[in-house]
């Protein structure tokens, strides 16, 4: 049997862990630059606030209903996610991390008749250890486990764990489950199926495999088989290395000066290099791009990118940032207001195999020792405790006026306990 552990309203739940006054109150968390709603409490959902809704559209509602608004605090959310995943690893044989707030679980060796009790206990353990409420769905396949986890959120009487094991139980759930909510059925196929008067999972379940194959891709067939209890989506507890690493962001206001953009590109390149080292990989390709605000027809537009290939694969922030600066100088145009920039690392390979170059001028062992020292300091003293000079001051030029403290990742933000 497989399970899915899904953190409830994760970003909101993280905010509530350190600010209990938010319990029972409508809360929303916003995207970059405080643009759109990306997480909502159940109370906010009840007010009709939709996922992805721009903040400016709900300002009157926020004020009238006393909705708590928070900017995205990704350092806090990432740390809380790590804590949840660590506890899951300690309690089940294998986990497959699916996203920042979801993980598939492998219940090897646990008798089926004990799974419901085990899931409820696991949910209580995570809530007690991290403060994050979770919903655990258990069934024969990943798709069915996804459905079961959603039922937990809808029905509190399930005590945070839903076990869908018997055929009659599964059939009852599928009879009312919307086709658009099935994992693996996208918006386009959902619209097509509804046009054929197929609106529930049970109706999709009742179709023939041939009908699915003729009208949908292989993923549609896999979803159909998974609903029938045949596992088709592999469980992979080993985290695969990323083949490309991209760090990009939009700004609250357009940036015109080269120095401001240079600091941003340097920071993004350094972050990408750090992620590269975390998975013990090297890169041969770096791409830098900059673009203006395409929504401003009254201003001149410019979009350009440039790439470079390294003669020797590297993970050195010094080498990558220097190359990013050279690329930026090629594509930057004075007089344009740039709204978004980013860097991408590609052609990634394992750091265990390095094809050198005869006339290499870089002291790579020295770079490697320096990067190891920087990573170690930043891991123990806080994110970006050591930065490159080209990164300038610690500013990301983003608008986050509702940002809460970084309770677990910044020394000065650690909560004080009065006894």
Annotated catalytic residue 274: no
Nearest to 255 by CA among 105, 76, 397, 70: 397
Q: Edge-to-edge, what's the strand order for the sheet holding 68-70?
A: 37-40, 27-30, 68-70
Supply the DSSP symbol for 125: H
Question: Are 72 and 29 contacting, i.e. CB atoms less than 8 angstroms apart?
Answer: yes
Distance of CA 15 to the CA centre of its chain: 17
Q: Which two tokens stand for residue 14?
A: 């993280």
Distances (CA, A) of 378 to 218, 369, 381, 384: 44, 14, 5, 6
Cβ–Cβ contacts within 10 Å for residue 206, how many? 11
Question: Are 2 and 104 contacting, i.e. CB atoms less than 8 angstroms apart?
Answer: yes
Which residue, chain included where needed, has tokens 């008798």? Answer: 111
Distance CA 96, CA 236 (A): 6
The DSSP string of 255-308 is: E-SHHHHHHHHHHHHHHHHHHHHHTTEEEEEEEEEEEE-TT-TTS---EEEEEE
Question: Are 289 and 305 contacting, i.e. CB atoms less than 8 angstroms apart?
Answer: yes
Q: Where on the phi/psi map is residue 189: left (φ > 0), alpha (ψ -120 to 50), or beta?
A: alpha
Task: Name the E strands within 65-192.
Answer: 68-70, 94-99, 102-106, 134-139, 161-163
Catalytic-labelled residue, pool 43, 96, 102, 319? 102
Q: State the catalytic residues.
A: 102
């Amino acid at each position: 049997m497989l399970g899915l552990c899904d953190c409830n309203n994760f970003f909101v739940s993280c905010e509530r862990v350190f600010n209990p006054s938010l319990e029972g109150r409508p809360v929303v968390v916003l995207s970059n630059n405080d643009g759109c709603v990306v997480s909502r409490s159940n109370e906010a959902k009840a007010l009709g606030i939709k996922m992805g809704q721009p903040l400016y559209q709900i300002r009157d509602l926020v004020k009238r209903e006393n909705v708590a608004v928070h900017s995205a605090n990704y350092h806090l959310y990432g740390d809380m996610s790590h804590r949840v995943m660590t506890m899951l690893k300690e309690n089940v044989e294998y986990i497959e991390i699916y996203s920042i707030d979801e993980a598939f679980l492998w219940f090897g060796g646990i008798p089926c008749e004990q799974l419901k009790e085990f899931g409820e206990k696991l949910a209580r353990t995570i809530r007690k250890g991290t403060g994050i409420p979770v919903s655990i769905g258990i069934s024969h396949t990943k798709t069915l486990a996804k459905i079961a986890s959603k039922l937990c959120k809808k029905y509190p009487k399930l005590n945070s764990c839903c076990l869908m094991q018997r055929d009659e139980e599964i059939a009852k759930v599928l009879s009312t489950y919307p086709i658009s909510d099935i994992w693996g059925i996208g918006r386009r196929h959902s619209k097509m199926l509804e046009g054929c008067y197929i609106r529930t999972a049970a109706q999709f379940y009742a179709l023939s495999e041939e009908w699915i194959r003729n009208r949908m891709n292989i993923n549609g067939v896999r979803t159909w088989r998974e609903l029938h209890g045949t596992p088709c989506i592999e469980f992979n507890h080993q985290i695969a290395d990323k083949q490309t690493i991209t760090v990009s962001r939009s700004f609250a206001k357009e940036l015109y000066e080269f120095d401001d953009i240079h600091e941003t590109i340097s920071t993004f390149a350094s972050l990408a290099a750090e992620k590269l080292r975390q998975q013990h990989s090297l890169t041969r390709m770096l791409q830098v791009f900059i673009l203006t605000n395409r929504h401003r027809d009254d201003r001149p537009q410019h979009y350009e990118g440039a790439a470079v290939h390294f003669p020797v694969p590297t993970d050195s922030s010094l080498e990558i940032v220097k190359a990013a600066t050279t690329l930026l100088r090629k594509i930057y145009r004075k007089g344009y207001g740039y709204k978004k920039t980013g860097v991408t690392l590609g052609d990634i390979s394992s750091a265990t195999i390095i094809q050198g170059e005869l006339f290499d001028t870089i002291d790579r062992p020295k770079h490697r020792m320096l990067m190891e020292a920087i990573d170690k300091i930043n891991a123990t003293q806080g994110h970006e405790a050591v930065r490159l000079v080209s990164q300038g001051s610690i500013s990301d030029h983003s608008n986050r006026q509702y940002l809460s403290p970084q309770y677990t990742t910044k020394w000065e933000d650690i909560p004080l306990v009065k006894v």
